[in-house]
Structure 1
Amino acid sequence: MRIHFWVYLHSWRSASELNMLVGAKVGGATPLVIACRNGHYDVAEYLIERCKADIEQPGSVTFDGETIEGAPPLWCAAAAGHMPLVRLLVRAGANVNSTTRTHSTPLRAACFDGHYDIVKFLVENGADIEIANRHGHTCLMIACYKGHIRIAKYLLSLNADVNRKSVKGNTALHDCAESGSLHILKMLLGHGATMDVDSYGMTPLLAASVTGHTHIVEHLISAEQGLVSRQQRIDALELLGATYVDKKRDMVGALALWKRAMDDRFPADGSDPIPKPKDIPRIEAYDYAVEPSDAQQLEEILADPDAMRMQALVIRERILGPAHPDTSYYVRYRGAVYADAGRFARCRQLWHHALDMQRAVLPPLSPLTQSSLYSFAELFSYMLAERARPPLRGQISLGLLHFIFCLMSYSSAGVVRGLFEDIEPVFKKTLSEIERGSALLQSRLSLDREQTLGTLQRVLVISLHLAALCARLLDHNDCSEHDRRNIEKAVYSLVKLDIKVRQGRSALHIACSAEGARSRGGSGAWLPAPGDAQPCCGALVALMLRLGAAPDARDADGNTPLHLACKLNPCPKGVVRALLAHGAHIDTVNYEGETPEEILKASQQSLSSIVNPLQYTSLKCLAARTVKNYKLPYRHVVPQCLHSTIITH
């Protein structure tokens, strides 16, 4: 049926029309790319041999939910495991070393999913086994990571470089240690693989300890191997014990590993001891935990699960260092567990420590820092939501019970002050991150300005999220004048930054737009009160306006915050009223010539249902509109100071 369709097309199309047809893209992919991705041999053969389709023209395809950009037909066939199509394309002259936009070759694609026959065929037809993708990952590395023993063995037989490093410094041995394939690990060692360190200072041994592959660790530290030093063996056992605590939840197993490490530190044969470092600072977030110095102290902490968990965090930070992602990840993980148990104070302590570590070692606007900041915002949102949610009839919700316990930890100064004192330090760190990002943009050190602006906008959304929580506290009956001043001072520090992000939008633009709602998959990022479905917070907008945010600031499309608010459906009435009350013009036109009222009409909404338009229409506005509507000359007629008023209308 497919061949009949193409024969029909070929019979009445001219050569130029046919070339245009077979080269056209639907969803980013040409007909040949689609045929190769889905294994339609007859269609691909017809396109190549009869329609003379370009066998190198790339397209966009999806594998396992991920979109691959710039994928040539041969890459698609190899990745999907369609051997007949791979043969057809190679026979037609396809470049066996063509790459996707991320520099992945057809050979690497075949290695990823374990298509051994395709790997062998491509190599026999000139595929280069050493071409790496943009991350520096080679075919051998991906085969080791995915555990494809047969492919790894074949590549090693071709003398693949076993010690080649990726951009981040990891080798095939690192990938093998992380995936847990002991068979491949032994092959790599037999071909001369060495225990190199990556950019985090991690050896394959430590990589196996972090991921919890005990069999890999035991093989590497065994005495007959002679691959590691005594200190490296001790670190591996202690780190593996920390993984047992946090990942496997095996306290007894962790203690056994720590005991082995302790015996190695203080051997019974009288060898020189290797005591634990003495200059490790005690950290408040870890309850000032100190690592045990002998077996008896180790036994004592087994009776205290919390002490075991803190030991795991202390050990991981000492061995991996604060720059390693797993160090902050497990600190945040432990904090989340405490939050689930209603122990919010412990959660905040740990998360602040993780955030401080990240900000000290990571570049501005790092995704890891963003994640930590947003976790705080979600925690505070949950706490406020539980305060506002009434208990179920006849019982009290677990979340509300947790919140009550949290309130008991606050001083007698009141709920608002207690909550604000929790939010304020996070808010300050968020604003500091915005300032760091702005400095990065101004220094022009950013390689991709648009991407940096987008990242900066996401952090700005988080700051607005926190500011919205502060704005909601102002309505609490426990809010004193002192608390009010402190909250206003905090939010003013955001307004004063006068930050501009994508499309030249200000913080007020973002607060009045849908960006916040979209930032978390469409959920209410501005944390409206229960029952309020509006995606942005009128209380926050009103507070920002009162503190000096410009209501008539324009973005790159000429939209004011009022324009963006009116684009929401349903339109947030409180936001519109607040903007108009603080001087926003109801009839300002954007660069498309649209007024906020016209934008509302386009979505079947009415401005008159929100406010009385006449109340916000001045005689000056009517006069400016008349001049514009009738295209009256005004340049040398009206005073210069009124020209901007006419232009905005």
Structure 2
Amino acid sequence: MSSGVWDLMDLMPTRCKWIERLRRCGKTFLRRQQRLLRRIRKVYLHGFRSDKLKMLVRAKVHGATPLVIACRNGHYDVAEYLIERCKADIEQPGAVTFDGETIEGAPPLWCAAAAGHLPLVRLLVRAGAKVNSTTKTHSTPLRAACFDGHYDIVKFLVENGADIEIPNRHGHTCLMIACYKGHIRIAKYLLSLKADVNRKSVKGNTALHDCAESGSLHILKMLLLHGASMDVDSYGMTPLLAAAVTGHRHIVEHLINDENGLVSRQQRIDALELLGATCVDKRRDMVGALALWKRAMDDRFPTDGSEPISKPKDIPCIEAYDYAVEPNDAQELEELLADPDAMRMQALVIRERILGPAHPDTSYYVRYRGAVYADAGRFLRCRQLWHHALDMQRTVLPPLSPLTQSSLYSFVELFSYMLAERARPPLRGRIVPPVTFEDIDPVFKKALSEVERGVQLLDCKLNLDREVTLHTMQAVMIIALHLAALLAQLLDDLDISPETVKQIHKAVYTLVKLDIKVRQGRTPLHIVCSGEAARSTSSSQFVDGGKPAPSPALVGLMLRLGAEPDARDAEGNTPLHLACMLNPCPADVVRKLLEHGAHIDTVNYEGNTPAELLVTTNQKLWHIVNPLKYTTLKCLAARTVKDYNVPYRHVVPQCLHSTIITH
């Protein structure tokens, strides 16, 4: 029984003798069990020779050593035994999981500090553990304790030599993380130790930025008392704007009303306008937003004779925002309240003007508003906003950015949803418009453009991590293949015009003629036939019988447009090999590959043919196709020469050597 049961029994009346007897028997049993486990452990481990014991203690399970596991889970007696009796290495790192995130290279002291086990922290420090040891991300045990607010551990580590200024790989210090997490006691303690309040991270933010984002007014006041300044980060954001973006009105009001004049009049106006935009998009508070914008308007055009501050004149009107123009007087502002859509567009215009297109929140809220329109069935407005967000990202972000990938993939999900909804009976009279070539093609071109930018990045000699670039380029390629599959699906429409058919072929041919290879030397046709694109989506065009499967329509279209059916990847596999590795094997894909010249008996670098790979998944080739139909005399002759090891180099013409080798 668990200890919680005995705690419950302690609360019960002790008048019943059987309850008291059961409690005594249970506790005696637990004490005997613990003694037995300790005896087994000692006898078992003492039975090993020192070299085997050392190997056992250093061994890792799922990336973690026994000591790392004990420190992570707070098993003091186990950790003590491993350190004192087994001489475990107290600095050997391992992989541990916190809140669903795996931390690589975490020393035992870091694990104990992060989990809040003060007795274990004391044990490790007493045993000589380095208090400033770090994980792979350069996080110290002190920073780990600051993250989750373990004040006693923070104080103990500092008293034993922990450096409060060691940042992690992002440049975030202990003070920054304590401010961001809102741990007032730890922040106050670090400030008493003269922690650098104006130190900047890699992206230029300070502890005051982190505090403004988290919304802790008490910590913010402490930082200001210790000399924190209103610096800007790499996005040009002050702590005031950071508070406005996250919607912490109390932080904004404190900063703009500070008696020391922390902010200028222009900064105050921008903060009020941005806070109003946040009210619209984050809180759906139109009245509150209008009140904030009116305050900003009064500040722009004061009645006390001060010089007015007009809005910029050169802001372009954007089609995605319905050509919205910011109001310049109170009457125009009041009229907005009668039109909720106009309020929403104003919020997007204001955010783009103040934050700029490079700030992640700018494109995020544009995409968010588009998603809201899609939920309401306004798919055209959704696409307009998403195209604008995608264009902003591609302008300011590096090639193959994860944010750009996310925006591209949103289109895939939208088009797939629309096609699936059109295949069902209308729900409550809601009619989903058809997906056309004109809808998909602009997104497809932007996806291919990202792939081409990735190729240029690979050709650049300054690129240091080729494998990471190939991985991200493959992710964008998969998105492009999703869109190509959607285009191929349009060909099944009986009402499609010959001109549209020609346009679809031209678009997909652009993908085929790129002739690029991504990870493992795979071509786009390899990716489609391997099911990689299918595994990354739940779209209906990739699903066969509930399981992810390649799109036969896309495979057939790519082959007709010149995709090489016998191209080899880094392991010598052709697209047919990869298709035959799937379970179940996509029969339509296999037939299309064979009909377009794929060889049924081509061997990969392991010497396996597609038919032999099918056997490994308990499938038979003749259940899918008739092998004799796709076996030529040339193939049989090449196989015979290879099987009998006939010396053919000076007998068979040079042009046939590659055929013999592939068989």
TM-score between the two structures when normalised by the length of structure 2: 0.93
In structure 1, what residue type is equivalent to 2:53?
L
Q: What's the counterpart of residue 448 of structure 2?
A: 431
Matches within 5 A, 1:481-500: 481-500=498-517
Contact 2:106 2:135 in 1 (8 A): yes
User: Quick one: distance in 1 between partners of 2:132 and 2:597?
Assistant: 62
Matches within 5 A, 1:430-579: 430-520=447-537, 523-524=538-539, 526-528=541-543, 533-579=547-593
Q: What's the counterpart of residue 412 of structure 1?
A: none
In structure 2, what residue type is equivalent to 1:333?
Y
Deviation at 1:572, TM superposition (A): 1.0
User: Quick one: distance in 2 between partners of 1:525 and 1:461?
Assistant: 16
Residue 53 (1) aligns with residue 88 (2): yes
Any idea what the Cα deviations from partners look like across 1:51-90, whole Å, max 9, x if unmatched?
1100000000000110000000000000000000000000
Q: What's the counterpart of residue 66 of structure 1?
A: 101
User: Quick one: distance in 2 between partners of 1:223 and 1:25?
Assistant: 55
User: Quick one: distance in 2 between partners of 1:426 and 1:76?
Assistant: 46
User: Quick one: distance in 2 between partners of 1:485 and 1:10?
Assistant: 74
User: Quick one: distance in 1 between partners of 2:62 and 2:355?
Assistant: 44
User: Quick one: distance in 1 between partners of 2:548 and 2:173?
Assistant: 49
Contact 1:524 1:534 in 2 (8 A): no
Residue 18 (1) aligns with residue 70 (2): no
Q: What's the counterpart of residue 30 of structure 1?
A: 65
Q: What's the counterpart of residue 410 of structure 1?
A: none
Any idea what the Cα deviations from partners look like across 1:260-318, whole Å, max 9, x if unmatched?
00000011111000011111100000000000001110000100000000000000000
In structure 1, what residue type is equivalent to 2:638?
A
Residue 368 (1) aligns with residue 385 (2): no
Q: What's the counterpart of residue 277 of structure 1?
A: 312
Matches within 5 A, 1:589-600: 589-600=603-614
Residue 140 (1) aligns with residue 175 (2): yes
Deviation at 1:220, TM superposition (A): 0.4
Q: What secondary structure is seen at the aligned counterpart in 2 of 1:62?
A: strand
Q: What's the counterpart of residue 397 of structure 1?
A: 427
Q: What secondary structure is seen at the aligned counterpart in 1 of 2:135?
A: coil
User: Quick one: distance in 2 between partners of 1:4 and 1:77?
Assistant: 26
Contact 1:381 1:527 in 2 (8 A): no
Q: What secondary structure is seen at the aligned counterpart in 2 of 1:484?
A: helix
User: Quick one: distance in 2 between partners of 1:526 and 1:459?
Assistant: 18
Q: What secondary structure is seen at the aligned counterpart in 2 of 1:271?
A: coil
Any idea what the Cα deviations from partners look like across 1:91-150, whole Å, max 9, x if unmatched?
000000000000000000000000000000000000000000000000000000000000
Deviation at 1:639, TM superposition (A): 1.7
Q: What's the counterpart of residue 264 of structure 1?
A: 299
Q: What's the counterpart of residue 414 of structure 1?
A: none
Give the number of aligned pairs: 628
Q: What secondary structure is seen at the aligned counterpart in 2 of 1:401?
A: coil
Residue 195 (1) aligns with residue 230 (2): yes
Q: What's the counterpart of residue 636 of structure 2?
A: 622
Residue 298 (1) aligns with residue 333 (2): yes
Q: What secondary structure is seen at the aligned counterpart in 2 of 1:455?
A: helix
User: Quick one: distance in 2 between partners of 1:478 and 1:512?
Assistant: 29
User: Quick one: distance in 2 between partners of 1:436 and 1:540?
Assistant: 24
Of 376, 392, 395, 1:341 maps to 376
Contact 2:420 2:540 in 1 (8 A): no
User: Quick one: distance in 1 between partners of 2:45 and 2:548?
Assistant: 55
Name which one, 1 or 2, has greater alpha-carbon Rg: 2
Residue 220 (1) aligns with residue 255 (2): yes
Any idea what the Cα deviations from partners look like across 1:214-245, whole Å, max 9, x if unmatched?
00000000052410000000000000000000
Deviation at 1:623, TM superposition (A): 1.6
Residue 588 (1) aligns with residue 596 (2): no
Contact 1:587 1:595 in 2 (8 A): yes
Deviation at 1:4, TM superposition (A): 2.8
Contact 2:534 2:542 in 1 (8 A): no
Deviation at 1:444, TM superposition (A): 2.9
Gaps of 5+ in 1: 408-417
Q: What's the counterpart of residue 215 of structure 2?
A: 180
Gaps of 5+ in 2: 1-33
Q: What's the counterpart of residue 205 of structure 1?
A: 240
Q: What secondary structure is seen at the aligned counterpart in 2 of 1:13?
A: coil
Any idea what the Cα deviations from partners look like across 1:32-61, whole Å, max 9, x if unmatched?
000000111111001100111000000000
User: Quick one: distance in 2 between partners of 1:267 and 1:459?
Assistant: 51
Contact 2:458 2:466 in 1 (8 A): yes
Contact 2:107 2:135 in 1 (8 A): yes
User: Quick one: distance in 2 between partners of 1:37 and 1:634?
Assistant: 64
Percent identity at matched positions? 80
Contact 1:516 1:524 in 2 (8 A): no
TM-score between the two structures when normalised by the length of structure 1: 0.95
Deviation at 1:526, TM superposition (A): 4.9
User: Quick one: distance in 2 between partners of 1:83 and 1:525?
Assistant: 53
Contact 2:110 2:140 in 1 (8 A): yes
Deviation at 1:580, TM superposition (A): 0.4
In structure 2, what residue type is equivalent to 1:502?
R
Residue 150 (1) aligns with residue 185 (2): yes
User: Quick one: distance in 1 between partners of 2:188 and 2:285?
Assistant: 35
Q: What's the counterpart of residue 415 of structure 1?
A: none
Comparing 445-454 with 361-370, which one deviates more in the overlay?
445-454
Deviation at 1:382, TM superposition (A): 1.0
Q: What's the counterpart of residue 5 of structure 2?
A: none
Deviation at 1:10, TM superposition (A): 3.0
Deviation at 1:475, TM superposition (A): 1.0
Deviation at 1:436, TM superposition (A): 0.4
User: Quick one: distance in 2 between partners of 1:8 and 1:246?
Assistant: 65
Any idea what the Cα deviations from partners look like across 1:406-449, whole Å, max 9, x if unmatched?
35xxxxxxxxxx61001001100110010001100111332311
In structure 1, what residue type is equivalent to 2:302?
P
Q: What secondary structure is seen at the aligned counterpart in 1 of 2:105?
A: strand
Q: What secondary structure is seen at the aligned counterpart in 2 of 1:126?
A: coil
Contact 2:552 2:588 in 1 (8 A): yes
